[in-house]
Chains A and B, each alone.
Chain A
């Protein structure tokens, strides 16, 4: 699988933008959102590429040559290539037709990074599907082949600048295989999203943010292996004693309670501590601290407008805080 840069010159003028919007509105009726698509006549579109038009021009030149010299073999060649064009249309269509496409949520990333949604392509066609290209509405190309009847999982990425829950828009899947004369494509809409954490912003003066001295010293003790730090998915070999039966009873799945060993410091993430910064900068700073604390395996509490979290540590806690920061409305205060 290769990711390659999208075309640099993709600048839409307003007219194109307008058309695009209209087109997508129309598309919403034509291809409504779904969890899984099977590409077929209903949702595939096909038109000649630029090369296809050049080829048509070439065919006309050949035809004129053949007619002017009354040369039947030149005409036959012209007709062979014309038929090839039509056959290529069917092959290009068949190259996409019959593929089942599913997409799933992306793993969380930080703003400014590329988030990858995994797109699963499966097909029963033994001949396989070649040179399939995919991208989100504003994303970068991913190229994939499906060989045999195996499923392919392809990561299709897009750059995200802003924190929050990010919807990728429609997925463009297209192919010009085998001859590049025809382009067959579809725009699919999936209910998937990517959680985008704020971009961490380095904070220089960490000490001033620590909780009170006494508190800090008080809690600075070693807890050996029985400090409950959260839940994680059950893995084979986990002790039965640690299974979170309560969650299991509620039908939430099988989890193990995670117990951590380590030294923990109590800290507080305080919204008010960065008054001098703008909202987004403040969020970025808090993001940095969250990561910093988690890396140091410190215990910290959170105090943000509308959200208070008690002292805790560990990955789950960290994720919880990051999620909170990611989803914080832009107009706090």
Chain B
């Protein structure tokens, strides 16, 4: 009745060491995330336990343990300044796990430490879900399982044997794990947990001043990756709309602070497949700590699992929760250059999109009123403005500084700028001319990764453009940057900038060797696949995969298929083992004896016609007395198998015949005495 026979028994030295190694592996990634003094706690615990083992210290009393616990808890509270976040919780867990070491003496303690080790691996994944972390976690599990299994053995075992048997266990578990991972239903969070504290992320903020986009372009890193399902638009048409900035304070553009009517977007599977202008795509967005998502105009359906997506009237997407970790979403867009109401703009929107600080930029305002005096149509004014840029403007990442009248300075003095300068000055002119307009911030283009067929949109693809409202057209995209530097739009940032500017983009990621580029693409592709199919595998992708594999995602179908598959597998295994066991022993024995006879004939003892196995064996024994023991024994075994159906010695027969001419009497006796 007692399964846990030795639970109270003291741990063996070997197991102690293994548990400590496994613990070290499990906590190392946590130590990198937690306050540095916890290293000291761990080292003290190890030294303490080792001293206990060597007999220099005794196991701590309850009082000592309470004091130790009190000290680390106080330390943690101070370190996290009384905040109750995930880091603090993991810190608590870490201390409990590490301090358990000093009172670790029985097998039961060992089991607890192993379980806590698995938990440590899990908490490491809360910080990072990279492929490296997963691999490291697997290695940790390997050692944990080895230490775990050793607790159930009463004899020492070689390290290689330990690790190999642990590996075999995990290897056997892996196919089932993959099946579980694919088919187990995903659920919404059951309750909200303290969030992870994030670090500063790069990306757009909700306001844009001159130089902001330029800074973003210089930062390396990926903004998001996009995989199209079906048709892909031209890279020059990929205006990834992020924010609509419609409030200008003279220097920065902001999202108008008033709450706008929002519309909730959900999945709409009913969108027609046939239409050419629909694009379906999956975006895997890097964390940027903000609420917005990027999409092509105009988004029709956007789904983020576990979050709510809202569509602002100004046509930008926000989520309820900030993107503190990678976000994956599926979207359908109907590509067009214009959108929104065509005939009529409501008063409030009109007022907002015409507002400019009256006192600023007088030169620009004067220029615009000159155009208005010519009684030009709005579309003509737009062309005028764009042709202004074509005259003598210069596209650069390092524009000169601008003064108080920033737009005047840019348009009439420096004439060097980056996309936000162009967009900002253009919108200012349009508003001055009474044309409702606004700035849109986002990304333009994307580089295709040929390895996995997806687009990478980097921070260096950051872009700003303008949108004007024209009667009968709606909101029309106008990219003034295209007027000054069409290469930017057509071919991407790398072609639009001068050599010296190029060094600044994406921390010098451009202009590298071809092999380096191809290697980087491959590495990125692997990471992308990992993020797309493992880290971001959610209900939506699960549905897709299940439909692809099983032809549907209904629970009954999955259950039925899994049950049928496991029954089939079980039957196959059963038949396999059944047939192996049912393999007629006699033919095997005869084959073995034939081998023996061949070997004996090689020794020069010929079997005569019709001679029985036992008489032949006796002859062999007479001719080669040093082999007598094993020869007679194998003949007797063969007789038992052939005439009594006793198959228990089949393996021994195989071994004996395998060793045949080497197995002299001396070795035979030694071996059989070992056997007994």
Given contacts A72-B534, A72-B536, contact A80 B141 (CB under 8 A): yes
Tell me how far the C-beta of B279 lies from the nearest C-beta in chain A, rounded to whole angstroms: 27
> Which residue of B119, B152, B652 is within 8 Å of A131 (Cβ)?
B152
Residues from chain A with Cβ under 8 Å of B133 in the complex: 73
Given contacts A67-B190, A68-B190, A76-B534, contact A51 B3 (CB under 8 A): yes
Task: Say yes or no: B111 contacts A51, CB within 8 Å.
Answer: yes
Q: What separation, in Å, do the CA atoms of A216 and B230 have in the docked complex?
A: 116
Residues from chain B with Cβ under 8 Å of A49 in the complex: 3-4
Residue tally, chain A, CB below 8 Å to B? 58
A192 an interface residue at 8 Å Cβ cutoff? Answer: no
Residues from chain B with Cβ under 8 Å of A178 in the complex: 149, 152, 165, 169
Q: What separation, in Å, do the CA atoms of A83 and B145 have in the docked complex?
A: 13
- Stretch among B120-128, B205-213, B430-438, B466-474 lining the A interface: B120-128
Residues from chain B with Cβ under 8 Å of A133 in the complex: 5
Residues from chain A with Cβ under 8 Å of B1 in the complex: 7, 10
Given contacts A150-B675, A176-B3, contact A77 B125 (CB under 8 A): yes
Residues from chain A with Cβ under 8 Å of B111 in the complex: 51, 180
- Stretch among A86-94, A205-213, A222-230, A298-306 lining the B interface: A86-94
Task: Say yes or no: A80 contacts B177, CB within 8 Å.
Answer: yes
Given contacts A68-B191, A124-B651, contact A81 B118 (CB under 8 A): yes
| Nearest neighbor of B193 in chain A, beta-carbon distance | A68
A169 an interface residue at 8 Å Cβ cutoff? Answer: no
Q: What separation, in Å, do the CA atoms of A69 and B187 have in the docked complex?
A: 11
> Which residue of A73, A130, A131, A176 is within 8 Å of B129 (Cβ)?
A73
Residues from chain B with Cβ under 8 Å of A71 in the complex: 125-126, 129
Residues from chain A with Cβ under 8 Å of B180 in the complex: 79, 82-83
Within B525-567, the residues touching A (CB, 8 Å) are 534-538
> Which residue of B126, B534, B650, B674 is within 8 Å of A69 (Cβ)?
B126
Residues from chain A with Cβ under 8 Å of B537 in the complex: 72
Within B385-411, the residues touching A (CB, 8 Å) are none
Question: What string of 1s and 0s marks CB contacts (under 8 Å) between B139-179 and chain A?
Answer: 00100010011011111000000000100011011111100
Residues from chain A with Cβ under 8 Å of B174 in the complex: 80, 83
Within B597-643, the residues touching A (CB, 8 Å) are none
B28 an interface residue at 8 Å Cβ cutoff? Answer: no
Task: Say yes or no: B187 contacts A151, CB within 8 Å.
Answer: no
Tell me how far the C-beta of B132 lies from the nearest C-beta in chain A, rounded to whole angstroms: 11
Residues from chain A with Cβ under 8 Å of B655 in the complex: 149
| Nearest neighbor of B651 in chain A, beta-carbon distance | A124
Q: What separation, in Å, do the CA atoms of A62 and B165 have in the docked complex?
A: 25
Task: Say yes or no: B121 contacts A7, CB within 8 Å.
Answer: no
| Nearest neighbor of B134 in chain A, beta-carbon distance | A73
Within A84-107, the residues touching B (CB, 8 Å) are 84, 86-88, 90-91, 100
Question: What string of 1s and 0s marks CB contacts (under 8 Å) between A162-193 and chain B?
Answer: 00000000000010111110010000000000
Q: What separation, in Å, do the CA atoms of A232 and B169 have in the docked complex?
A: 54
Q: What separation, in Å, do the CA atoms of A137 and B482 have in the docked complex?
A: 90
B648 an interface residue at 8 Å Cβ cutoff? Answer: yes
> Which residue of B122, B651, B652 is within 8 Å of A77 (Cβ)?
B122
Task: Say yes or no: A83 contacts B122, CB within 8 Å.
Answer: no
| Nearest neighbor of A88 in chain B, beta-carbon distance | B169
Given contacts A65-B122, A86-B176, A150-B675, contact A180 B169 (CB under 8 A): no
Most buried by A among B180, B189, B536: B180
A2 an interface residue at 8 Å Cβ cutoff? Answer: yes
Q: What separation, in Å, do the CA atoms of A76 and B118 have in the docked complex?
A: 12
A141 an interface residue at 8 Å Cβ cutoff? Answer: yes
Most buried by B among A49, A67, A77, A174: A77
Residue tally, chain B, CB below 8 Å to A? 62
Task: Say yes or no: A74 contacts B191, CB within 8 Å.
Answer: no
A289 an interface residue at 8 Å Cβ cutoff? Answer: no
Q: What separation, in Å, do the CA atoms of A154 and B133 have in the docked complex?
A: 47
Residues from chain B with Cβ under 8 Å of A150 in the complex: 674-675
Q: What separation, in Å, do the CA atoms of A55 and B655 have in the docked complex?
A: 42
Given contacts A74-B122, A100-B648, contact A58 B3 (CB under 8 A): no
> Which residue of B5, B175, B191, B675 is within 8 Å of A141 (Cβ)?
B5
Tell me how far the C-beta of A143 lies from the nearest C-beta in chain B, rounded to whole angstroms: 6
B6 an interface residue at 8 Å Cβ cutoff? Answer: yes
Residues from chain A with Cβ under 8 Å of B172 in the complex: 83, 87, 90-91
Most buried by A among B118, B126, B153, B534: B118
Task: Say yes or no: A130 contacts B184, CB within 8 Å.
Answer: no
Given contacts A67-B186, A72-B537, contact A180 B4 (CB under 8 A): yes
Tell me how far the C-beta of B33 lies from the nearest C-beta in chain A, rounded to whole angstroms: 15
Q: What separation, in Å, do the CA atoms of A149 and B149 have in the docked complex?
A: 22
Residues from chain B with Cβ under 8 Å of A141 in the complex: 2, 5
Tell me how far the C-beta of B513 lies from the nearest C-beta in chain A, rounded to whole angstroms: 34
Task: Say yes or no: A80 contacts B170, CB within 8 Å.
Answer: yes
Q: What separation, in Å, do the CA atoms of A72 and B537 have in the docked complex?
A: 7
Task: Say yes or no: A50 contacts B121, CB within 8 Å.
Answer: no
B306 an interface residue at 8 Å Cβ cutoff? Answer: yes
Most buried by A among B5, B129, B133: B5
Residues from chain B with Cβ under 8 Å of A72 in the complex: 129, 181, 534-537
Question: What string of 1s and 0s marks CB contacts (under 8 Å) between B502-524 and chain A?
Answer: 00000000000000000000000
Given contacts A174-B3, A180-B3, contact A87 B191 (CB under 8 A): no
Task: Say yes or no: B674 contacts A180, CB within 8 Å.
Answer: no
A6 an interface residue at 8 Å Cβ cutoff? Answer: yes
Residues from chain B with Cβ under 8 Å of A151 in the complex: 675-676
Task: Say yes or no: A58 contacts B189, CB within 8 Å.
Answer: no
Question: What string of 1s and 0s marks CB contacts (under 8 Å) between B314-353 and chain A?
Answer: 0000000000000000000000000000000000000000
B256 an interface residue at 8 Å Cβ cutoff? Answer: no
| Nearest neighbor of A150 in chain B, beta-carbon distance | B675
| Nearest neighbor of A100 in chain B, beta-carbon distance | B648
Within A55-69, the residues touching B (CB, 8 Å) are 55, 58, 62, 64-69
Task: Say yes or no: B3 contacts A83, CB within 8 Å.
Answer: no
A70 an interface residue at 8 Å Cβ cutoff? Answer: yes
> Which residue of A64, A68, A87 is within 8 Å of B169 (Cβ)?
A87
Most buried by B among A4, A67, A86, A178: A178
| Nearest neighbor of B533 in chain A, beta-carbon distance | A72
Residues from chain A with Cβ under 8 Å of B175 in the complex: 83
B115 an interface residue at 8 Å Cβ cutoff? Answer: yes
Task: Say yes or no: B125 contacts A131, CB within 8 Å.
Answer: no
B91 an interface residue at 8 Å Cβ cutoff? Answer: no
Task: Say yes or no: A83 contacts B173, CB within 8 Å.
Answer: yes
> Which residue of B154, B306, B674 is within 8 Å of A2 (Cβ)?
B154
Within A143-166, the residues touching B (CB, 8 Å) are 143, 145, 149-151, 153
Q: What separation, in Å, do the CA atoms of A80 and B177 have in the docked complex?
A: 5
Task: Say yes or no: A62 contacts B538, CB within 8 Å.
Answer: no
| Nearest neighbor of A124 in chain B, beta-carbon distance | B651
Tell me how far the C-beta of A204 lies from the nearest C-beta in chain B, rounded to whole angstroms: 44
Task: Say yes or no: B134 contacts A143, CB within 8 Å.
Answer: no
Task: Say yes or no: A145 contacts B155, CB within 8 Å.
Answer: yes
B137 an interface residue at 8 Å Cβ cutoff? Answer: yes
B binding-site residues for A, Cβ under 8 Å: 1-6, 111, 115, 118-119, 121-122, 125-126, 129, 133-134, 137, 141, 145, 148-149, 151-155, 165, 169-170, 172-177, 180-181, 184, 186-193, 305-306, 534-538, 648, 650-652, 655, 674-676
> Knowing that A77-B125, A79-B177 are A-B contacts, what are 18 other residue pairs whose CB atoms are under 8 Å apart, sorted by A's residue number?
A2-B154, A55-B115, A58-B118, A62-B122, A68-B190, A72-B534, A73-B133, A75-B181, A79-B181, A83-B173, A84-B145, A86-B173, A91-B172, A122-B648, A131-B152, A143-B5, A145-B155, A180-B4
Counting from the closest, the 7 A-B pairs by CB-CB distance are: A83-B173, A83-B176, A79-B180, A73-B125, A49-B3, A183-B3, A124-B651
14 A–B contacts from the bound complex (CB under 8 Å): A50-B3, A51-B4, A66-B122, A69-B126, A79-B180, A80-B141, A84-B145, A87-B169, A100-B648, A143-B154, A149-B651, A177-B149, A180-B111, A180-B151
A binding-site residues for B, Cβ under 8 Å: 2, 4, 6-7, 10, 49-51, 54-55, 58, 62, 64-84, 86-88, 90-91, 100, 122, 124, 130-131, 133, 141, 143, 145, 149-151, 153, 174, 176-180, 183
